[in-house]
Amino acid sequence: MASLIEEVSRRTIDYLASLPSQPAQSTERGKEVAALLAEPPPEQGSSLDSILDLLFDTIIPCAFNTTAPGYFAYVPGGGLHSAAVANYLASAVNRFTGVWAAAPGAAEVEAQSLRWLAELMGFPEGALGVLTTGGSLSNLLATVAAREKLLGDDLSKGTMYFSREAHFSLTKAARVAGIRAQNFRMIALDDDHRMRVDLLEEEIRRDRQRGLSPFFVCGSAGTVDTGVVDPLDAIAKVASREGLWFHVDGAYGGLFRMVPELEPTLAGMEKADSLAVDPHKGLFLAYGTGALLVRNVEDLHSAFSDSASYLPAGEEGGTDFFSLSTELSRDWRGLRVWLPFKLHGVDAFRQALREKRQLAVDARKTLEAEPDVEFAAPLDLSLFAFRQRWQGKSIDEENRLNRALLERINRSRRIMLGGTELDEKFFLRLCVLHLRTHRDRVDEALEIIRESLEAGR
């Protein structure tokens, strides 16, 4: 075992040390790698060296390099090594945390991690929740909890409200939860790409007049397309007045509330009935580490609690996580939140988030000085969308040229940006949220972007 871990650690350390020189993306050999892996089940084992060679030389490099400092596409996953150590420990000791009585200490580590997150997000004492695989599952659990509390068995009239830039996992969650697609209301945006609360109120009023049952509204704490934060406080007031469940999708941006100067930007988030946050984004942890926080944990318990005679009896005051979600068997997710917090301290994460925000602010200021560069929306957190304008060109032609611009930028392989389409216009997206991204790589990225802009003019 010591030998196995020593060799894996050596290879991993070498890999991490080489990240600054690795390409930000390298997927061109995808079909070749897939073909290479097509083989029958191995009857005999192989040497560790040969397996690690295959992994580190062929399989791992063929990817968007989400652990590299030049990865500005989508919303990065950090890959903090202390979280990887927590994963190793959790898998090695293999504690079952679905039921508190089966591993009280391990389950309490997870519960304490959730209490910390709830406190950092401004939720009241007593708030809790459950760690999930990510925002998609968190949004689903919140939808089901709201459905159970406010609709009961009659789902046919339930109506739900999202902004036009809400994450697609929300409408998917609604469908899985049994809400008819014809009862989804996509609320239009203002000029800054935020949900228009006046139109939200109008839609709720119309639906009540039609005999429907409005029950759920979601605001975004950082959209994927533009990074903006919806007017959460205003949405919270509408939800309270109308008796709707108020959910906030903060998978990308919610954890920026840890930075005191950004609390006003996210004001109202703490009033949510439920909040999805992704520590595998804002806390730089390993993929598969999401969280759903709820103001009243009994809402989750009412939606998901069940039992079987073979399960150990619950303990008063202990949290049975199987009764708060759809999962019974699950990995010990809490350790990969608890251990990094204990090892590094919360302020290390706060300072890292503050750094990413400032890097994004400075990057945007630099690009604002470039001629004919248009931005989709204000910069609220650390993600913004921009495009090049060309005088006299049609929208279709500008879109083609901006797609070519993105390809030109990413061709460097030192950085990777993403793209999106808003109101029939193609925009490039730059997201600064990687633990290994610092001033030097942002400066290099800006130089690549400026050179690419100049080449396309």
The CATH number of the domain where 195 resides is what?
3.40.640.10
What are the residue ranges in the chain where pLDDT is below 50? Answer: none
C-alpha 332/C-alpha 373 separation (Å) is: 47
Give pLDDT, residue 259.
Answer: 98
* Domain assignment of residue 375, given as a range: 347-456
> Does residue 357 sit in the same domain as residue 449?
yes
Per the domain annotation, does 73 fall within a domain? no
Q: Are 353 and 322 part of one and the same domain?
A: no
For residues 277 and 394, state if they share a domain.
no
Computed on alpha carbons and rounded to an integer, the radius of gyration of the chain in Å comes to 23
Assess whether 92 and 42 both reside in one domain: no
Claim to verify: residue 223 and residue 334 sit in the same structural domain:
yes
| Residue that has been written with the tokens 């100049």 in this structure | 454
Residues 142 and 180 grouped into a single domain: yes
Domain boundary at 284, 318, 345, which? 345
User: What pairs with residue 132 in β-bridges?
Assistant: 290
Integer Cα distance of 55 and 53 in angstroms: 5
Do both 284 and 305 map to the same domain? yes
Residues 275 and 416 in one domain: no
375 and 428 together in one domain: yes
CA angle centred on 64, ends 61 and 70, rounded to 5°: 100
Q: Answer whether residue 319 is part of any domain.
A: yes
State the alpha helices, DSSP H only, in 270-345. Answer: 279-282, 297-304, 335-344
> What whole-number distance in Å separates Cα of residue 321 and Cα of residue 349?
26
Which amino acid, one-letter code, is at 153?
D
Question: Domains in the chain: how many in total?
Answer: 3
Q: Are residues 239 and 388 in the same domain?
A: no
- Whether 336 is in a domain gets the answer yes
Instruction: Give residue 314's pLDDT.
Output: 65
Is residue 80 included in any domain, yes or no?
Answer: no
Looking at the fold, whether 172 and 318 belong to one and the same domain comes out as yes
Residue 70 lies in a domain: no
| Whole-number pLDDT of residue 362 | 98
CB 254 within 8 A of CB 276: yes
DSSP β-ladder status, 245-250 and 213-220? parallel
